[in-house]
Amino acid sequence: MNKRQEMNASSPVNSVSDRATVQQPLGLDVEVVGEHERENLEIFFAEAEERRANDVVLNCQDNLDFLREQPKEKFKLIVTSPPYNIGKSYEVQSSLDDYLANQRQVIGECIRVLHPKGSICWQVGNYTDNGEIIPLDCLLFPIFREFGLKLRNRIIWHFGHGLHCRNRLSGRYETINWWTKRNDYTWHLDPIRVPSKYPGKRHFKGPRKGELSGNPKGKNPSDVWEFPNVKSNHPEKTVHPCQFPVELVERLVLSLTDENDDVFDPYVGVGSSVVAAIKHKRNGYGCDVVEEYIAIARERVDAFYAGTLKTRPMGKPVYDPTLPNGGH
Ligand SMILES: C[S@@+](CC[C@H](N)C(=O)[O-])C[C@H]1O[C@@H](n2cnc3c(N)ncnc32)[C@H](O)[C@@H]1O
């Protein structure tokens, strides 16, 4: 039976009347008029219920406490952006040595709870000290390696907005360091392919002459990613000063996990990783020490299930002021 047939077999709506109240899973009763509207709503809510089949855990808790409560090898993907120890509102700045010692502890616990075929994606930028920049991934690289992890890609995330520097070039990228435990890790390229530059291009000589030279499903997105960072005019902007764009995490979720896998963000902020996970029928787990962020994360999850959460769609071109309408 398909969804529509199931709905007809066990409709929650009083079928005697045209005007009915649909009992729906989001805790609201919606008054509807007419058969067509009612059927559409039923399907919408059934789909919302189906999406809710995934677990969401959002705790206001220190990540080491959270991690120690988790069973080993649970998470297929651990994706996060830790504080950079640069004095943001949500962090207590410490010496670089103390910062790295804490990162080592958190990374060690993450590896314990990482599935054997799982991935860790640690997204970082620079720690700055009196005008000197110290790329955090260079300092974290030996820690991950000592734990036996293998680096699969150091993805450059390029974005258009940030501080304008006077005495050096303005920083417009950070990195996502993708580590795996083993060589047989979960990996899917097709769901994250991007349009080829020349989709109709064909081999012009050799045994495959005349055949399409590229993959008709699109090309590998490479290890340089361009996504707008979440600044004030971004549809996902909340009060958090450094949110992940959901589309960035979606690319990792789609390529590094399967449906119903567990995705965890130990510095979840306002829940962007959890939103990306549940958008694609994965379970989303996260913790953050700031109550306000966790409250917003929960609101965003509810808004997603209610169909009202705005996220920048995957594949939308980056605004280009040289093109008509910015290329949109
Ligand atoms: C760079 S932000 C991550 C933002 C997140 N990617 C998002 O999209 O909202 C780092 C977060 O780590 C949180 N944090 C700092 N120390 C923590 C700890 N010990 N345990 C859990 N979260 C922590 C901060 O409150 C902050 O929200």
Model confidence over 125-162: pLDDT tens digits? Answer: 998 888 899 999 999 999 999 999 999 999 999 999 89
Q: What is the best residue among 106, 174, 274, 289 to mutate for testing ligand 1's pocket, by most ligand atoms within 8 Å of CB?
A: 289
Model confidence over 99-127: pLDDT tens digits? Answer: 999 999 999 999 999 999 999 999 999 98
Whether the pLDDT of residue 71 is over 70: the answer is yes
For 11, residues 6+ apart whose C-beta sits below 8 A from its C-beta are: 42
DSSP 316: P
What stretch of H or E contains 120? Answer: strand 114-124
List the domain boundaries for the chain.
3-51, 56-327
Model confidence over 5-45: pLDDT tens digits? Answer: 443 333 332 223 333 333 444 444 445 567 777 788 777 77
Q: Looking at residue 74, what is its pLDDT? A: 98
290 CA from centroid of ligand 1 (Å): 8
Q: Is 144 exposed, middle or buried (0-12, 13-18, 19+ CB in 10 A)?
A: buried
CA dihedral 288, 53, 256, 307 (to 10 degrees): -70
What is the atom index within ligand 1 of the atom nearest the CA of 266? 21
Structure-block tokens of residue 228: 């707008």
What is the atom index within ligand 1 of the atom nearest the CA of 84? 1
289 CA from centroid of ligand 1 (Å): 7
The residue whose C-alpha atom lies closest to atom 18 belonging to ligand 1 is 62
Q: Do 263 and 76 contact (CB within 8 A), yes or no?
A: yes
Q: Looking at residue 266, what is its pLDDT? A: 98
pLDDT category at 327 given cuts 50, 70, 90 is: confident
151 CA from centroid of ligand 1 (Å): 23
Whether the pLDDT of residue 173 is over 50: the answer is yes
Whether the pLDDT of residue 190 is over 90: the answer is yes
Cα distances from 309 to residues 213, 236, 246, 267, 312, in angstroms, run 39, 8, 11, 21, 10
What is the atom index within ligand 1 of the atom nearest the CA of 290? 25
What is the pTM for the complete model shown? 0.84
What is the atom index within ligand 1 of the atom nearest the CA of 265? 6
Q: Is the CB of 143 under 6 A from ligand 1?
A: no
**Count of CB atoms situated within 10 Å of the CB of 68:** 11
Q: Is the CB of 267 under 6 A from ligand 1?
A: yes
**Of 241, 219, 226, nearest in space to 155 by CA:** 226
Q: Is the CB of 245 under 6 A from ligand 1?
A: no
- Cα of 115 vs its chain's centroid, Å: 18
What superfamily does domain 56-327 belong to in CATH?
Vaccinia Virus protein VP39 (3.40.50.150)
Q: Looking at residue 207, what is its pLDDT? A: 92
